A and B are shown apart, each in its own frame.
Chain A
């Protein structure tokens, strides 16, 4: 029996696990998150394991396949403990050398080290990499010490002690007071104070209550929650257990996107293991507290990230939101009081209970406490997950951590907050990132997506992209959102296709106002943000499209034309082979020509041409 019947069982298990670990000579940590898996890390893990077995070292050297370390661009990532030697872009073929040289003899393999793109210097440990240096990785930093499929790893790293501490003697109202004192606000984007939500839910009468973990991270360009759930599912479970104890719930749900298969799998394994260890089920750790969690997969509807739509979906219904005149803390899942929080919010709970609210609140700004994880992506050198204290400036994130724009171009803007957020121009990059400042600037911190855009991005096209997304994802229940977003998209499409008129810009603003006032849920209320923010900060781009019928970034197809410069083309034929529309013709070794009638302006030829002979005008 592995069941832990009281908190001292948990402590003695931890001691046994740590003692067993002391016998291991070293540990090879390999990232197995979705990003690194795409870069073939499972092959690396298998090759390292096989090589260790071949050399008879599998007992002395432990291989730990972990979740995401955050620096996805450089994957697969490998760290060797002790010493924290950091290798990146490791291939299965490197396994033999890593075991023979680094593990056995302690040699460093130069070619696998990370090269700092700024100084050109080879770097040996994560701590020396600028991408990590400027971060404050309280949540993400824990991923490295845990194999998400092994509850023992989590326990050995101090996991479930916050739960044990809570059950051993912190009354629900004290838990809520602690969360309130920490100033924790909802990480899903709305920033509602978590302690207040719990308090309202706890006050409701009745003993049938629910906690829900919102892992339906639909914002395109954001993957913080995927990473946390994938890499450290027990941390989320522990947070939910503490929350359930505080509000008096006995059942919980994790609603996770089906598009995150690894997160679904790891969450399921974690729930099973927690049940096996008696951390979920009846009378947890010998206390009167009973609690269990179920996993539900989302059906690929963006609107289900909205709390009432999510709850409808959990009930097996179409995911349509309802008016929130009565809050879900009173009338939630199956009309019972429900506390719904985002993955990252739950993840912050155990540390607040264990280390105290004061430590959590020491970081951040006056009204936004703690750290926040951002998904830094787009046209930036270092892409990946970034965790910083609230209030860090956009400049620090994009330039110090992200390393600035790729390919020698200039950064133009950063898009924050997904489809509900907005685009901020580079001259506003000194703004501190927190819940309130970005909203005042017309963007939104949102759940933490941060997409960097450079000169090659057309801001009108970006607005069109988000409107297209929202039109597709609007559930259709309320008219302002269903019809309004459709009309916004129609007008912006006119502008990008050269049919724009000046008065349409005023109409856009007018419509945007109506939609944001009259829509039922946050999807509709915030839908105009991408248009409004681009109009506010990049009016000249709209004018260029409307008045001069030009797309300065060379993106909007109807306003551009591709041609091949005769003096640069040497007739190699790559563009001709690449063109999926058969629009390029020529004889062998002759200068190629683009047929304007056939050309669909997809730009594939530009990407294929090695001589930069194809231009856009």
Chain B
């Protein structure tokens, strides 16, 4: 995989750089593909089992591909007391997926994060890297519909 070369550059045979390397692989593909895991483990000199152990331990990594749009709901304390659960319920009801899952059509992945440090503006949802503050279930519903290319007014209860 030539795409991996820039990620591996300067890191070969340095097992302690495993996490940093996997972070970049995760950013590159949106998940950790099997081939990339094999390549990273081989090039850094980490047993493949250890690489998988690390990949499964940290929340930053995913072994499954993500959807075209990623909605990350912050469930930190400040967002929690301002109703972050309603936002999760909104997505559950609208798309029938749980945090960590992707819709069957591959359009949306729902994630939750423990805190993004934008607590003053909670509840916060990150839509593909953009921070949306003071979120409400209504705003979230519209944002999800929009990201899936749905017209205004069309609705379903999946």
Contacts and interface: CB of A to CB of B under 8 A. Distances in A.
Interface of A: 34-35, 37-39, 72-73, 75, 217-223, 226-227, 258-261, 296-302, 313-319, 375-379, 383-385, 415, 418, 449, 451, 453, 457, 462, 465-466, 469, 473, 475, 577-582, 600, 602-604, 607-608
Nearest to A260: B117
Contacts of B15: 316
Contacts of B114: 218, 220, 300, 302, 469, 473
Given A301-B58, A604-B86, A313 B119 contact: no
Given A297-B23, A317-B18, A580-B93, 15 more contacts: A37-B131, A38-B118, A38-B131, A259-B116, A261-B129, A301-B57, A316-B17, A319-B58, A379-B82, A418-B77, A451-B119, A466-B77, A582-B157, A603-B86, A608-B137
A451 B155 CA distance: 36
Interface stretch (B1-9, B101-109, B120-128): B120-128
A420 B82 CA distance: 21
Interface string B85-121: 1100110111000000000000000000111111111
B117 A581 contact: no
B81 interface: yes
Interface residues of B, number: 54
Contacts, number: 178
Contact of B53 (A222, A226, A318): A318
A33 to B, nearest CB: 9
B93 A581 contact: yes
Please list the 5 inter-chain residue pairs (A to B) with the smallest Cβ-Cβ separation, ordered nearest first: A580-B93, A299-B58, A220-B76, A223-B117, A300-B59
B133 interface: yes
A313 B137 contact: no
A72 B117 contact: no
SS class of chain B's interface: helix, strand, loop or mixed? helix
B94 to A, nearest CB: 5
A217 B57 contact: no
Nearest to A598: B157
Contacts of B119: 221-223, 375, 377, 383, 449, 451
6 contacts: A34-B116, A220-B115, A221-B119, A261-B129, A316-B16, A580-B94
Interface string B61-77: 10000000000000111
B138 interface: yes
A298 B132 CA distance: 23
B30 interface: no
B77 A34 contact: no
Contacts of B94: 580
B36 interface: no
Nearest to B77: A221
Contact of A220 (B23, B59, B77): B77
B60 interface: yes
B37 interface: no
Contacts of A222: 115, 117, 119
Contacts of B113: 259, 300
A372 to B, nearest CB: 17
B120 A73 contact: yes
B16 A38 contact: no
B143 interface: no
Contacts of A34: 116-118, 131
B7 to A, nearest CB: 13
A34 B121 CA distance: 10
Contacts of B92: 580
A379 B83 CA distance: 11
Contact of B117 (A217, A302, A313, A475): A217
A165 B1 CA distance: 51
B54 interface: yes
A385 B131 CA distance: 19
